[in-house]
């Protein structure tokens, strides 16, 4: 198998990085203001839903083709 990273894996990695950035942003808000308004969680929720969908598609495709032992 090629060592090339598939676009869907690049998308997963980008979403994971963006999710961590969002968590750090929310932590900074929480520390500075002592709490979070509920609507502040919306961007994180959207990122989490997108990441879950991408992970599910990767998993489903790996089952179909019998691969995935070397992927995260």
Q: 54, 18 in Cβ contact below 8 A?
A: no
Rounded Cα–Cα distance for residues 60 and 33 (Å):
42
Residue 36 falls inside a structural domain: yes
In the prediction, which pLDDT does 4 show?
77
Which SS3 state, helix, strand or coil, does residue 70 take? Answer: coil
Q: What is the pLDDT of residue 69?
A: 54
Assess whether pLDDT exceeds 70 at residue 57. Answer: yes
Q: How many residues are listed for the chain in this entry? A: 72
Domain-located, residue 1: no
Looking at 1-72, which runs of residues are DSSP E strands?
none
pLDDT tens-digit profile of 15-37?
999 999 999 999 999 999 999 99
Range of the domain at 60: 7-64
Condensed to tens digits (0 to 9), the pLDDT of residues 35-53 reads 999 999 999 999 999 999 9
Looking at the structure of the chain, the number of domains it has is 1
When computed from its CA atoms, the radius of gyration of the chain, rounded to whole angstroms, is 16
Q: Which pLDDT does position 1 carry in this prediction?
A: 46
């Amino acid at each position: 198998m090629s060592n090339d990273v598939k676009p869907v894996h690049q998308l997963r990695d980008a979403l994971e990085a963006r999710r961590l950035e969002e968590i750090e942003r929310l932590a900074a808000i929480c520390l500075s203001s002592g709490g979070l308004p509920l609507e502040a969680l919306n961007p994180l929720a959207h990122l989490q839903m997108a990441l879950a969908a991408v992970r599910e598609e990767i998993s489903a495709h790996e089952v179909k083709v019998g691969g995935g032992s070397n992927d995260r």
